[in-house]
Structure 1
Amino acid sequence: MAALTDLLVLPVIQAPMAGGASCPLLAAEVSEAGGLGFLAAGYKTPEAMYQEVKQLRTLTSRPFGVNLFMPQPNTADPAAVEVYREQLAGEASWYDIALGDPDAGTDDAFDAKVAVLTDDAVPVVSFTFGCPSRAVIDRFARVGTYTVVTVTSVAEAQAAQWAGADAVCVQGVEAGGHQGTHRDDPQLDGAGAGLLSLIPAVREAVQLPIIAAGGIMRGAQIAAVLAAGASAAQLGTAFLVCPESGANVLHKRALTDPLFSHTELTRAFSGRPARGLVNRFMREHGPYAPAAYPQVHHLTSGLRKAAAGAGDPQAMALWAGQGHRLARELPAARLVDVLGAELEAARELLAKGRS
């Protein structure tokens, strides 16, 4: 099994961003530049995931990763979902679409995707929204795949170590998109730990390499998380605006648009806490959205697509980390180079301060 550092020339990982942003071209450019590019298999069929892996392999011979969503327990309250459906009726009427089926499934075809990725092994597989069983991780180990579990607490990191994962991706509350908590507890909404407090706590609790994620946009921040005990940094929002990113152009523009001044955690679009730019939909529906993932995701899927088609960012899920205003519209390979140079400059500055 390769070590994490063997997979990287630079300690820069492009986060898997479900919904289209993490396309094969973006992942390939990052990997070719010496980072680690990632595909996001969440919400895709096993066949679509396989086709993206196939395409990525034609674009790079460097290591890359694929991210899987863990199956979710069906704990949603159907009555609460129905009330939310009624609340969204006006939105559906406005965009002239039918709301989606909240019962479209909770396992994201996990077993089928595992079968595909163990039959035709990829270098790295990461997991979000839970920790797979030791049996699943052992299947990947047998085919030489490096496994990473996303964690948001010490307890989740310990669970990942017990299951046999090769590394943990420690996600701070600053991160854009969904919080990767293993169990969605509404009582803990907004109580997530900041990245620089979480890294050392996890470092002392487990013996696994740490990938740091959450609000990282500059090389100096990469230096900070490495100094705190991480082995690499994972950046999502920083790569979202790259020309190779598959994100909607409205989403890319919104990241630096003064109209969208800040981010918040919301359940409005998916039923699970996720950080995005505050827009009309989030303000109007966020306070009432139930803890029901992926039921709410399925319910609002058509709405979000219709809003994008209508050129209306006010009803799109504009996922973004807290550092979104630092986004730079650079080609992905150039961004990796710039981050590497900034990291080196920060290290030199730190060395001078010590001498």
Structure 2
Amino acid sequence: MTKVNVIGAGAFGTALAITAKKAGNDVLLWTRHRDHADAINSEKGNSKYLDNVSLTPGVEATSELARAGNANILLLAVPAQHVREILAQLKPWLAPETVLVMCAKGIEQDSGLLMSEVMAEIAPTNPIAILSGPNFAREIALGLPTATTLACRDREIGEDIVKAIGLPAFRPYLTDDVIGAQVGGAVKNVLAIACGVVSGGKLGENARAALITRGMAEILRLGEKLGARAETLMGLSGLGDVVLSCSSPASRNFSLGAALGQGDILGEILQQRIAVTEGVYTASAICRLAEKFNIEMPICFAVNEILNGGVAVSNAVEELLARPFRDERLAGF
């Protein structure tokens, strides 16, 4: 039996633990806090992050990294900005052959590094993979049909991961484009905030469709500079994730943007949330990368101005609408 442990007992980590156990693996779910682990084990669920969903029998929660690190495959489902810290704490307990699968979507705010680059810095001898796609945690946990991208440069290891966690209703599609699988997921968080602003500000469905389309152009520009393949960015971990997150209030990033569009204050929105909204922290890192590579990413810049620049939503929208008219062939993907 394959040991597939999950690091991070938020909604997505819990859903992955449920799925990995359904697939026939030995599964431990790690949370930072012992009282949270005890609550999960006693209630056979995770009411804090994923209410009214039962764990697959046999899933156990723990707060001990030494136990959680003992695995064939580790699914890392902690927020992107905490990956470095948690992985450094895990490192003493990792075997060199343990496969690390990144399930967070973001770019490290301080360094501008992709999650694969952070992983390579902390655990350079461990094989790595990326899991990313249009994947709402609750639907995965309930066994609703889901497809996702599994990116791994070593095809044999990638196939082993797919065999370990794949189910008829949870379908990983394998690629070796590790960069592409990360760029789409990171940028879509910021685009989802923008689409939420449009929804909350009642700017219309035409505007949201335009943001999704032009947002894909921004993803493809950044992906090209970082070495991603366009086919990956137009797949599940890019376009698929954009469509989901930019269209549904169930997306944390979309709902945050909607609250901003309605006039709520960012700090107050974040205080009311127990789960991390990744786009808030990734926006500034994306904009620094865009400046570094001289890439036009006006939507991401507008969102960053709202989040981190003190610019009012109405002013950011006006700036976008005041941009010069372009030939679509020149402004395309």
Q: TM-score range by the shorter chain?
A: 0.3 to 0.5
TM-score scaled by structure 2? 0.32
TM-score under structure 1 length normalisation: 0.31
